[in-house]
Structure 1
Amino acid sequence: MLFDDASADFHGFFERHYAELARLAYLLTGEPDAADDLAADALLALRRRWDRLRAAEQPLAYARGVVANLARARIRSSVRGRRRVALFWSHRSKRVDGPDVAAVVDVRAALDRLPFRKRACVVLRYAFDLSERDTALALGVSVATVRSQTSKGIAELERMLGTRVAGELVADRRNR
């Protein structure tokens, strides 16, 4: 099967960014099974508009925004407040990869307790190393909102995890 230029271009975009979008979906929802579905749904939505989007300045920012919106919709429709946390813990995989399993579980649980916008800002800024501008583009908010929500999110993480642990997370990302 031969690809036209748009199909080949989209295929390249898919290959370069699918894993990142799935990881973003996982970090936003905490649901490993849903992450692939959300990334695929986002890319399907992009494919339908690819002729317009490939000419855009930041198609990846648009893709991240679609994933964030799909993740938000999934969270809102599945549960509210404490029920969401309970659902996550009862359905999550028991296996967690990483060098310090207890720390990973603590950070994951702390992220789950953050409101969606704060969580999205913290995840995009520190887990994905996006600039404030790129985070704002992905979430469709102002740079000032990103600054505010990130600051408040880090402050809440510090309260939950302790200043030293949260500070190490932020410092580790800044020193890369």
Structure 2
Amino acid sequence: MLLDDASAEFHDFFERHHAELARLAHMLTGEADAADDLAADALVALWHRWDRVREAAHPVAYARGVVANMARARIRALTRERRRVTLFWARVPERVEDTDVAAVMDVRRALDRLPFRKRACVVLRHALDLSEKDTALALGVSVGTVKSQTSKGTAELQRLLGARATEELTGRRI
């Protein structure tokens, strides 16, 4: 395949999936500003390996996995930095917002409290409406892991948000 054909193929892939990858990054990190950067960084990484990516059975799942891994690395780095700053300044944790905060902020905080894999499973399954198989492909785990982590994540969200809010979030009666 000529370089021009590969470029056109990648450009088409970029146009079709950039918004979804940015949305995934935003849901995983909670940072709107960083979401586009993470999606762009993931697409640059995909471009460097495009000859292998386009031959993959599921290039979109591969791209989602790259975004998830980059989001996890960002979250870990930010967590380490926050711990260092907290230790340095010995500040007390910030006060939790009042209960009259918008529902979106409540969901964001509840998602932030989930461990990464549970959060990723819940976001991919319910926010992006991916199948269990596609979620497993994106995260590089088994379908059984997706099922259990989604179930446990949803249960934890139910505990944090209440049953009614969780039903509205996931679209399923709990």
What TM-score do you get using the length of structure 2 for normalisation? 0.84
What aligned pairs does 1:154-165 form with structure 2 within 5 A after superposition? 154-165=154-165
Q: Which residue of 2 aligns with 1:28?
A: 28
How far apart, CA to CA, are the structure 2 residues paired with 1:69 and 1:52? 18
What aligned pairs does 1:17-166 form with structure 2 within 5 A after superposition? 17-79=17-79, 102-166=102-166
How far apart, CA to CA, are the structure 2 residues paired with 1:8 and 1:56? 18
How far apart, CA to CA, are the structure 1 residues paired with 2:126 and 2:168? 11
Cα RMSD for the two superposed structures: 2.1
How far apart, CA to CA, are the structure 2 residues paired with 1:141 and 1:39? 21
Which 4+ residue blocks in structure 1 deviate beyond 3 angstroms? none
How far apart, CA to CA, are the structure 1 residues paired with 2:37 and 2:168? 32
5+ long unaligned stretches in structure 2: 87-93, 95-100
Q: Which residue of 2 aligns with 1:98?
A: none
* Amino acid of the structure 2 residue aligned with 1:167: E
Identity of aligned residues (%): 75
* Amino acid of the structure 1 residue aligned with 2:39: A
* Amino acid of the structure 2 residue aligned with 1:169: L
How far apart, CA to CA, are the structure 1 residues paired with 2:135 and 2:9? 24
Larger radius of gyration: 2
When the two structures are aligned, how many residues end up with a matched partner? 156
5+ long unaligned stretches in structure 1: 91-100
